Amino acid sequence: MLVSMKDILKHANENNYAVMACNSVNMEMARAVITAAAEKHSPIIINLGVGQMAKLAHPTEMVPLIKELAESVDIPVALNLDHGMKYEDEIAAMQRGFTSVMIDCSSLPYEENVARVNNICTLAHAKGICVEGELGHVGQADVGDNEELDLYTNVAQARDYVDRTGIDCLAVAIGTAHGDYPKGMIPKLDFQRLAELKAELKMPLVLHGGSGAGAENIKKAVAGGINKINVCTDAFHAAEEAMKVAWAENPKTSYLEIMMIAEKAIKKFVSDYIDIIGSANRYGYGDVISDSKE
Ligand code: 13P
DSSP code string of 227-283 = EEEEE-HHHHHHHHHHHHHHHHH-TT--HHHHHHHHHHHHHHHHHHHHHHHT-TT--
Pocket of ligand 1 from Cβ distances under 6 Å:
23, 47, 82-83, 178-179, 208-211, 230-234
Q: Among the atoms of ligand 1, which is closest to the Cα of residue 210?
A: 4
* pLDDT at residue number 145: 87
Q: Is the pLDDT of residue 287 over 90?
A: no
- Residue 256: is it exposed, middle or buried by C-beta count within 10 angstroms (0-12/13-18/19+)? exposed
Contact indicator for 227, 205 with CB cutoff of 8 Å = yes
Q: What's the pLDDT tens digit per position in 104-114? A: 999 999 999 99
User: Phi and psi for 96 in degrees, rounded to 5?
Assistant: -80, -15
Comparing 133-137, 146-150, 168-172, the range with the smallest average pLDDT is 146-150
- Specify the residue with its C-alpha closest to ligand 1, atom 9: 230
pLDDT-derived band of residue 149, with 50, 70 and 90 as boundaries? confident
CB 177 within 8 A of CB 138: yes
Residue 293 has pLDDT above 50, yes or no: no
Residue 250 Cα, ligand 1 centroid: separation in angstroms?
32
Confidence of residue 147 (pLDDT cuts 50, 70, 90): confident
Spatial CB neighbours of 39, under 8 Å, sequence gap ≥ 6: 271
Determine the residue of 232, 240, 266, 277 to mutate for testing ligand 1's pocket, defined as the one with the most ligand atoms within 8 A of the Cβ atom: 232
Q: Does 245 score more than 80 pLDDT?
A: yes
Ligand 1: nearest atom to the Cα of 208:
8
How many A from CA of 207 to the centre of ligand 1?
9
Instruction: Assess whether pLDDT exceeds 50 at residue 289.
Output: no
**First and final CA of the chain: distance in angstroms?**
26
On average, the pLDDT of the chain sits at 95
How much is the average pLDDT of 70-92?
Answer: 97
CA of residue 35 to ligand 1 center, whole Å: 20
Could you tell me what percent of the chain has a pLDDT over 90? 93
Instruction: Give the C-alpha distances (Å, rounded to integers) separating 95 from 63, 88, 99, 216.
Output: 11, 10, 10, 39
Nearest C-alpha to atom 5 of ligand 1 is from which residue?
209
Whether 82 is catalytic: yes
- pLDDT class of 286 with cuts at 50, 70, 90: very low
Quick one: residue 128, left, alpha or beta (phi over 0 = left, psi -120 to 50 = alpha)? Answer: left
* Ligand 1 centroid from CA 87, angstroms: 22
Identity of residue 238: A
Full-model pTM:
0.95
Residues 39 and 280: their CA atoms lie apart, in Å, by 9
- Model pLDDT, residue 284: 58
Element of type H or E holding 43: none
CA–chain centroid gap for 6, Å, is 13
CA-178 nearest atom, ligand 1: 3
Which member of 7, 74, 82, 291 is catalytic?
82
pLDDT at 285: 52
